[in-house]
Structure 1
Amino acid sequence: MDMDLVSRSGWGARAFRTPAGATPYGRARLGVKVHYLGTAYSDRPHDGCPGYVRSLQAQHMDGNGWSDIAYSFVVCTHGTVYEGRGLERRNAANGNTSLNDAHYAVCALLGASGLTEPPDAQLHGMRDAIEHCRGEGPAGDEIARHADGFATACPGPALTSWVRAGAPRPSGGGSGGSGGSTTHTVRAGETLSGIATAYPGVTWQQIAQANRIPAPYTIHPGQRLTIPAQRSAPVSHEPFPGASFFRVGTDSPIITRMGRRLVEEGCSHYRVGPGPRWSEADRRSYAAWQRKLGFTGADADGIPGRTSWDRLRVPRG
């Protein structure tokens, strides 16, 4: 799935202490609880985020005496998701053993002071982490606050409002009519040409011109782009059904329509079809689409993610 996920080794995590740090979940997870830091936080360039996650782990292990960083996943303001205790090991962030066992814990690098409003890229990353927990954990559909079931101000006013609204992805990622301009926050792996596919009627050259981006047209994660007014309203397309939908045995006309779009995009690895049942040919074709958008490695594994799906624009049935 095309999410920007950094493994523990990728951000330089210390080894967790045993036996407590190795405790597995004892029950099915009902969903995810959302957290923030609760202290002052200042935003930083993206290359400083792994170091902050390391300092957070050190605070939890050396200052609090815990066996590891408390959270299942941590999300920076640039939309990158850092693996904490991950999907298998019980978190230590929700308040007590029972609460920890019931939900994953996803923390935004967001403060009670300093930076208190999550950027769009961070909300996308939070949603990526939630969907990852649902699809791979697995976790149920609940999205709750740390404060739900435990006396705390966490996750603060901004994320409380977001959770109560259903934890939606920010608007503007391909939505909007033909009126005024909108904004787009660049995510890891995106290119101007890829971004333009999410905004019908707008070319990548127009986006570059609107933002005064010179050749070689370099953009970076977290950068906010002005998207010029679209010349036509977007067509209604199939909403992302979630990564867990795309598994062996899934049989749906959505997959047929997806395959037809992949053929139109020149990403076909089909010998026969496409058909309604998810297959290896579908996965290989979708991986070609992810690579066309600029994704690499695990982000081009052929399992649809929200960003690539929204850009493919699979028509509704």
Structure 2
Amino acid sequence: MNLVTRSQLGWPASAAPSQTTTKGVKVHYEGAPVSTKLLTDHNACIAEWKAIRASHLANKTENYSDVAYNYAACPHGYLLEGRGLRKRTGANGNQSLNQAHYAIVGLVGSSGLTGPTDEMLSAIRDGIDLLRKNGAGSEIKGHRDGYATACPGGPLYAWVQKGAPRPTTSNEPKENDVAISDADAEKIAKKVLTLDGVIDNPNPATAKTNGYISLETAVRNIETVVRRLESAVAKLPKES
């Protein structure tokens, strides 16, 4: 589990009311546009999480005591602490719903970044398991279960309805993966992802896993580059 604590975020202890048990956990999304920049820049994930807390604390109508969620999960697989353990959520819609379940939000939204990565789903499961060890029951539901809302969006809710299974991706090398050093993997990833600036904000770490580079990942990155190049060519002025 990759946990980013409140202390690491520069936040004081949560002022949210204590609650030691719930029926389980409800999964949320942001319900607003989320930038795809979060996919390639983990600092953007931290900034997004801090912005959510700031907006909640500034909301005089809801009068939140803290960021509404117990935890957030980012596309890179980090579990970001919010209210944390044994704290009542403020995210589920009303007092009785907040008392019934804790809350975890995936940093995806209604447009832009809408689909969770496998790493995000794993981080949500990390949060669920952590909360279960500290008083949460076995239920896993979406925000819309019991409250009239589109949250947590189609992709996340479909996953919840399947029982929120942990993704089966593994760090073990696959049959067609190629052994490669971390230094070489970073060079390859930068070349594939940037192509002299065609794609911004490269994230070389996504192309390597425990000393192996996934051919599936490489092909996916190359396909992205081709699409960007085709789009750029289509915008060039036509010869008369």
TM-score normalised per structure 2: 0.72
Determine the C-alpha separation between the residues in 1 that align with 2:204 and 2:125: 17
RMSD over equivalenced CA pairs, Å: 2.8
SS at the partner of 1:133?
helix
SS at the partner of 2:31?
coil
TM-superposed CA distance for 1:124, in Å, is 1.1
Question: Residue 132 of structure 1 aligns with which residue?
Answer: 130
Residues 207, 214 of structure 2: 8 Å contact kept: no
* Greater length-normalized contact order (CA 8 Å, ≥ 6 residues apart): 2
Residues 78, 222 of structure 1: 8 Å contact kept: no
Determine the C-alpha separation between the residues in 2 that align with 1:138 and 1:39: 31
Q: Closer, same or farther in 2 for the Cα pair 1:171/1:62, shift >3 Å? A: same
TM-superposed CA distance for 1:200, in Å, is 6.7
Determine the C-alpha separation between the residues in 2 that align with 1:94 and 1:138: 18
Give % identity.
41
Q: How many residue pairs get matched?
A: 194
Q: Deviations over 1:198-253 (max 9, x none)?
A: 247677xx2438xx6168x99x7961555369xxxxxxxxxxxxxxxxxxxxxxxx
Aligned AA for 1:159? L
Q: Closer, same or farther in 2 for the Cα pair 1:222/1:84, shift >3 Å? A: farther
TM-superposed CA distance for 1:132, in Å, is 1.0
- 2:43 equivalent to 1:47: yes
Q: Closer, same or farther in 2 for the Cα pair 1:87/1:222, shift >3 Å? A: farther
Aligned AA for 1:32? V
- From 177, 180, 188, the equivalent of 1:208 is 180
SS at the partner of 1:91?
coil
Question: Residue 24 of structure 1 aligns with which residue?
Answer: 18
- From 110, 114, 125, the equivalent of 2:108 is 110
Aligned AA for 2:136? A
- 2:20 equivalent to 1:33: no
Question: Residue 170 of structure 1 aligns with which residue?
Answer: 167
Question: Residue 143 of structure 2 aligns with which residue?
Answer: 146
Question: Residue 54 of structure 2 aligns with which residue?
Answer: 58
Residues 16, 66 of structure 2: 8 Å contact kept: no
Structure 1: segments with no counterpart, 5+ residues: 174-194, 230-317
Question: Residue 69 of structure 1 aligns with which residue?
Answer: 67
Residues 11, 53 of structure 1: 8 Å contact kept: no
Aligned AA for 2:180? A
Alignment of 1:136-285 (within 5 A): 137-173=134-170, 195=171, 198-199=172-173, 206-208=178-180, 213=185, 223-225=206-208, 227=214
Residues 121, 166 of structure 2: 8 Å contact kept: yes
Residues 11, 51 of structure 1: 8 Å contact kept: no
TM-superposed CA distance for 1:122, in Å, is 0.8
Structure 2: segments with no counterpart, 5+ residues: 191-202, 217-240
Determine the C-alpha separation between the residues in 1 that align with 2:6 and 2:205: 22
Determine the C-alpha separation between the residues in 1 that align with 2:33 and 2:92: 20
SS at the partner of 1:104?
strand
Q: Closer, same or farther in 2 for the Cα pair 1:96/1:224, shift >3 Å? A: farther
